[in-house]
Amino acid sequence: MSKSLRFLVPLIIFGALVILLMIGLGKDPTKVPSPLIGKPVPEFSLPALTDPERRVEDEDLQGEISLVNVWASWCVSCRQEHQALMALSKNSDFQIVGINWKDDAQDAREVLRMTGNPYAMNGHDPDNKVGLHWGVYGAPETFVVDRQGIIRYKHIGPITREVWEKTLEPLVAKLKAEG
Amino acid sequence: MIPELGHLALILALLLAIAQAGFPLAGSLTGNRPWMTMARPLAYGQLAFVAIAFAALVQAFLASDFSVLYVAQNSNSLLPDIYKISAVWGGHEGSLLLWALMMAGWGAAVAAFSRNLPLPVVARVIAVMGMVAIGFLLFMLLTSNPFERLFPVPPEGRDLNPLLQDFGLAIHPPMLYMGYVGFSVAFAFALAALIGGKLDAAWARWSRPWTTVAWVFLTIGIALGSWWAYYELGWGGWWFWDPVENASLMPWLVGTALIHSLAVTEKRAAFKSWTVLLAISAFSLSLLGTFLVRSGVLTSVHAFATDPERGLFILLFLCLVIGGSLALYAWRAPEVSEGGRFDLLSRESGLLLNNLLFVAFTVLVLFGTLAPLIYEAFNLGKISVGFPWFNKMFLALAPFLALLLGIGPATRWKHDEPWRLTKTLWIALALSIGMLALASLPAISGGDQWVPIGIALAAWLLFSHLTLVRERLKHKHGSWRQAMLADFSGNGRSFYGMVVAHLGVAMFIVGVTMVSNHEIEKDLRMSPGDSHEMAGYRFEFLGAQKVNGPNYRADQGHFIVYRGQRQIAELFPEKRSYLGGGMPMTEAAIDAGFFRDVYVSLGEAVGGGDWALRLYYKPYVRWIWLGAGLMALGGAIAVSDRRYRTARARRTAPTEAVAAKA
Amino acid sequence: MSALIKSLALSALLLLGSGVASAYTLEEFEFDSPEQHDEFRDLIAKLRCLVCQNESLAGSQAELAQDLRNEVYRMMRAGQSEDEILDFLIERYGDFVLYDPPLKPSTYLLWFGPFVLIGIGAFVVVRTLLSKKQTQDDPLSEAERERLQALLDAKHAPRSPDS
């Protein structure tokens, strides 16, 4: 390296740092990708929220495309999301399966009664027994599961129109085409 | 009305800063003397207006003027007055204003204390500081105006984060910022020298006291932060390797390298372009730290409320300031001659190694702090880097630094002989090896290999520096005490400052070693009347009662600590709920001692008058902060050296008061 | 107004996120021996609380941290090894949960990267040192020459080097 080029090194290093920080600004450090993507859903069996006699199990996710939505009545963003879910529940390409997470069953049923129930079924997980295995760390979270019961995507935070149109809808269409 | 005045003062300060950045620099390049002489009045003027803005914000806090958004967010009418003042810098906007105030203060200090410097140099230095000030003032005015009004006016403020309602934290940010901003002076001197094309020993001589003063502040600031975390966070740790802490550590590490490198440049005119690069880096890392803390790219316990827009602004600012100065460096530094040859065994080599190690530490901290970002940016997955990584990395290098620290100061400039060095240091070496053997005894080491290593390294620093003092006084007249006093009031202060600072390092090593390996932590459930014995201390729990503070309610535990039969302390740990809301806070109760702390932290009530709580025994933990304090004291002693004082005495203005303020 | 609400919300988040000061204790967990207790505490100190800003499971008050602590405790009591517990958590939460990332190909960058950088730096410094010995006298300015002379003179004076 020639002598005068050597003095450019700090500037080059700084340039690289700036690029890194630029990328960093566009990312949300609080989002953690799930290592479960591409893996089968964890085995689970939860009592159904609306009917404790029935159970919601991993086998219920076989044969149909599912949006597994982790929610709770105490969670503010879940209420924002609720309307979107209601609209989506009319779509017959997939089923919406709820995991009612760290919640009081009474409160949760009340929410469904008042604002409608978009869920095909709802498992009640009051003490995070199943959530732990799904790597849930907050509500709302939504997993996209294909017909073979493989987790294909995880969305953290509420489903908005933008999220649905840009990310989830194309994914569901793709899964549908896969057969 | 007053907040608007504050806002106006900020705008005027910005205009003055623009003039300050423009005219003196243009004058120095064209030889226009009147323009150059504008530098000083403009620097004073900028300080005056920023000070007015700051006073306006302080007034808004003292008057609990909740029509000001920032006050409504960070204060509360119940807040004690002292915390109303410290709440001024408790949030993003106000802490920026504090930065700006200090920036202007350092600029004015340079203006005041540079009367014996050539005018073009002063003009350039002040102009560069003006440029940096523009960035901060613009940032505040465009994205983070502390004077923004709120309508409708809320009846009550949201309260200062209870964590910050503490004396240690009230003074920690000002100290820290004094350090960060202080490095802007060294930065400005370096840039001025690059612009002027005159990088010589004189430049280093001028920068040195400023750099050391900034470093002293930063050292105190970091130590205060660590001390605060220790007693306020309630789980007894003193350093967490959180991004915010790392952001303050990086400029400190490079600043430490800079102090040493400046010594070589001043004495031997060597390392010139390297020293300039360090001066640029120290301040650049201060700015980078600001970005990391306020942009939200990293998750940190102490992060400010973040906002990508602010992040983008700071990034742009970083590009201009750091990118611009490094480009200037790449352009001008190749012309700098590297004078002062030296041999492999010489003080210069030692200091070069010192610099290498400090820069290596900086690289470690920067890399560890940014690694999660690097992994995410390149889609390598999401990782966490925490204390295990940093501890391992630092322990891999730190012993070499301590070894070198015992040898370096004993080495001669330019050339030294191995046998001479051996002859000087062999007693210190033998004593340290003796300490190594002694500390290896299981009774002392507790079976851990780091205890003897740490103790021996600390002993090595102690004995080698005592040897230095002895050597220095050997040929002087009178008793060693008289000789030392004469030497001290003569021109020996920078030497004694160095010794004190290095002994601070020794003390720090002992503290870290002992507390990391010998601390005891117990989780207990205690009923009133229960006693628990730990490390020779008996903790008796008398019970808990409700107490009321000015703006909180608390459960207060009552403990008596006995050593044998003797009562040594009465402790009142609290668990507080602040009326402003938020989570409960624990206020640990600590009986501090020179050789150990005992520490009680109240958990939660578990029924029947029982409490869950934690007891800690922390041997030598104070030595960590006392060591840092000695380092800072050493710096302060070195700055008072006659070399700098004679330069000052020539001036007529009363300077000491301002120096203390600066 | 919406900017205001946003910033108030952000500050509220900040306040919630800073629950670091709230202590809890491990008293609720019972162990057979003090060693097991220490092992447990060391383990949870190395695990990240995922919902917190930057805290370990040991330091956090968050509910999820509590759940994970309980799970780690349950697994430990069931006799599972530390590695098994770590694998369990990594499978579900990813490497992000570890404050002490294990050495494996994807973390080579983390563990060796800085040393490569430092090694390059050290190489340059050593080379500079060695080349210093061989280069001819750099042209010194008059002032520098004088200064050097003064230092050389000082060196012969009978006193030890000062700072």
SS3 readout for B302-371: CCCCCCHHHHHHHHHHHHHHHHHHHHHHHHHHHHCCCCCCCCCCCHHHHHHHHHHHHHHHHHHHHHHHHH
Residue B490's Cβ-count burial label (10 Å; 0-12, 13-18, 19+) is: exposed
Please count the other Cβ atoms lying within 10 Å of the Cβ belonging to residue A123. 25
- Out of A35, A42, A134, whose CB is closest to C90? A35
Q: What does each C-alpha distance from B317 to B138, B276, B410 come to in angstroms?
A: 10, 21, 43
* pLDDT tens figures, B430-462: 999 999 999 988 888 777 888 999 999 999 999
Q: Is C149 on the interface with B (CB under 8 A)?
A: no
The ipTM is 0.87
Those residues with Cβ within 8 angstroms of residue B440's Cβ, 6 or more apart along the chain or in another chain: B452
Name the stretches of chain A with pLDDT < 70. Answer: 1-4, 30, 179
Confidence band for C143, pLDDT divided at 50, 70 and 90: low
| Distance in angstroms (rounded) separating the CA atoms of residues B217 and B636 | 10
Which of B280, B297, B326 lies at the smallest CB-CB distance from A25? B297
| Residue B109 domain flag | yes
**Amino acid at position C93, single letter:** Y
Strands in A38-125 per DSSP E:
45-47, 55-57, 66-71, 95-101, 121-125
Q: Does B24 share its domain with B136?
A: yes
Shortest distance between the Cα of C64 and any Cα of chain A, in A, equals 7
Say yes or no for a CB contact (<8 Å) between C160 and B471: yes
Q: Which residue has the tokens 């001043």?
A: B266
Cβ contact B150:C4 at 8 Å: yes
Say yes or no: C9 contacts chain B, CB-CB below 8 A. no
Cα B371–Cα B377–Cα B378 angle in degrees, nearest 5: 95
Q: Note the pLDDT tens digit of each residue in B58-80.
A: 999 999 999 999 999 888 888 88
Q: Which of residues 110-129 of C touch B (CB under 8 A)?
A: 110-111, 113-114, 117-118, 121-122, 125, 129
Q: Which helix (H) or strand (E) holds B289?
A: helix B272-295
Domain that holds residue B462: 417-505+629-662
CA atoms within 13 A on the CB side of B409: 30
- The reply to whether B600 and B559 lie within a common domain is yes
What chain A holds in terms of domains, given with CATH numbers, is 38-178 (3.40.30.10)
The count of structural domains within chain B is 4
- Round to whole Å and give the CA distance between B346 and B413: 5
User: Which amino acid is it at C147?
Assistant: R
The β-bridge partners of B602 are B613
Q: What is the mean pLDDT of chain A?
A: 87
- Phi then psi for C158, rounded to 5 degrees? -80, 70
CA A118 remoteness from chain centre:
16
> What is the model's pLDDT at position A2?
56
């240690």: which residue's tokens? Answer: B168
Apex CA B397: angle with CA B391 and CA B400, to 5°?
140
B585-587 and B589-591 as β-strands: parallel, antiparallel, unpaired? unpaired
The answer to the question of residue B514 being in a domain is: no
Query: Cβ contacts (< 8 Å) between A34 and chain C: which residues?
Result: 94
B264 domain residue, yes or no: yes
What does DSSP say about strands B596-607 and A151-156: parallel, antiparallel, or unpaired? Answer: unpaired
The verdict on B295 and B233 lying in the same domain is yes
Predicted confidence band of residue C152 (pLDDT cuts 50, 70, 90): low
CA B511/CA B391 separation, integer angstroms:
15
Does B152 sit behind a cis peptide bond, omega within 30 degrees of 0 on the bond before it?
A: yes
Please, which residues have CB within 8 angstroms of residue B208's CB and are 6 or more apart in sequence? B259, B262, B263, B266, B644
* Residue B414 φ then ψ, to 5°: 70, -50
Q: Give how far Cα C38 sits from Cα of A78, B513, B521, B552, C42, Å.
A: 39, 19, 9, 35, 6
Residue B409 lies in a domain: no
Same domain, B445 and B538: no
- In chain C, positions 36-55, which contact chain B (CB-CB < 8 Å)? 37, 41, 46, 48, 52-55
Measured between CA atoms, how close is C106 to chain A, in angstroms? 14
Peptide bond into A140 cis (omega under 30): yes
B540 SS3 class: strand
Structure tokens at A20: 């890194």
Whether residue B428 is contained in a domain is answered as: yes
Please indicate, yes or no, whether residues B464 and B532 belong to a single structural domain of this protein. Answer: no
Residue A32 and residue C48: Cα distance in Å, rounded?
12
Within this chain, do residues B188 and B304 fall inside the same structural domain, yes or no? Answer: yes
Which one of B165, B183, B198 terminates a domain? B165
Task: Give every CB contact of residue B163 below 8 A, 6+ residues apart in sequence.
Answer: B169, B232, B585, C18, C20, C21
Q: Is A14–B273 a contact, with Cβ atoms under 8 angstroms apart?
A: no
Ranges of beta strands (E only) in B421-551 are: 520-526, 531-534, 537-548
Beta-carbon-side half-sphere exposure of residue B15 (alpha carbons within 13 Å): 6
Q: Are residues B492 and B421 in the same domain?
A: yes
Domains and CATH numbers, chain C: 23-105 (1.10.8.640)
Name residue A98's beta-bridge partners.
A69, A122
Query: What is the C-alpha separation between C46 and C40, in angstroms, rounded?
Result: 10
CB B345 within 8 A of CB C91: no
Structure tokens at B432: 């340290």
Do B123 and B217 sit in the same domain of this protein?
A: no
Which positions of chain B have pLDDT values less than 70? 234-235, 299-307, 338-340, 581-583, 645-662
Where would I find the beta strands (DSSP E) of chain A?
45-47, 55-57, 66-71, 95-101, 121-125, 141-145, 151-156
CA A102 to chain C, closest CA, distance in angstroms equals 10
- Say how many CB pairs under 8 Å bridge B and C: 225
Q: Are residues B62 and B158 in the same domain?
A: yes
3-class SS at A54? coil
Residues B114 and B210 in one domain: no
Is any Cβ of chain C less than 8 angstroms from the Cβ of B517? no
Closest residue in C to B159 (Cα–Cα): C15
Burial B582-606, CB ≥16 within 10 A → b, else e = bbbbbbbbbbeeeebbbbbbbbbeb
Read off the DSSP letter of residue C101.
Answer: P
Q: How far is A173 from chain C (nearest CA, A)?
A: 27
Q: Give the residue among B297, A156, A145 at the shortest CA–CA distance from C94.
A: A156
Burial class (CB in 10 A: 0-12, 13-18, 19+), C32: exposed
DSSP readout, B159-218? ---GGG-SHHHHHHHHHHHHHHHHHHHHHHHHHHHHHHT---HHHHHHHHHHHHHHHHHH
d(CA B1, CA C128): 62
B406 within domain boundaries:
no
My answer on whether B189 and B244 are in the same domain is yes
For the purposes of burial, counting CB atoms within 10 Å of the CB of C130, is it exposed (0-12), middle (13-18) or buried (19 or more)? exposed
How confident is the model at residue A131, as a pLDDT? 87
Q: Are A145 and A152 in contact (CB under 8 A)?
A: yes
Q: Report CA-CA distances (Å) from B193 to B150, B197, B341, B378, C25.
A: 47, 6, 22, 39, 57
Q: What pLDDT is attached to residue C147? A: 63
**Which residue in B388, B475, B497 is closest to C100 by CB distance?**
B388
Residue B465 and residue B372 in one domain: no
Identify from A125, A130, A132, A143 which residue to disrupt to test chain C contact, counting C C-beta atoms within 10 A and taking the largest count.
Answer: A132
> What does pTM read for this prediction?
0.88
Of B105, B132, B165, the domain-final residue: B165
Contacts of A14 in chain B (CB under 8 A): 284, 322-323, 326
Confidence of residue C11 (pLDDT cuts 50, 70, 90): very low
Higher pLDDT, C159 or C119: C119
The pLDDT tens digits of the residues spanning C23-72 come to 456 666 778 887 888 888 888 888 888 777 778 888 777 778 888 888 89
Q: How far apart, in whole angstroms, are the C-alpha atoms of residue B247 and residue B242?
A: 9
- Given CB atoms, is A24 within the 8 Å cutoff of chain B? yes
C residues 57..76 contacting B (CB < 8 A) = 58-59, 61
Cα B475 versus chain centre, distance: 38
Q: State CA A171 to chain mean position distance.
A: 13
Is residue B119 in some structural domain? yes
- Torsion sign across C-alpha atoms C9, C14, C17, C21: negative
Q: Kindly write down the DSSP assignment for every residue of C119-139, as one continuous string.
A: HHHHHHHHHHHHHHHHSPPPP
In a domain, B352, yes or no: yes
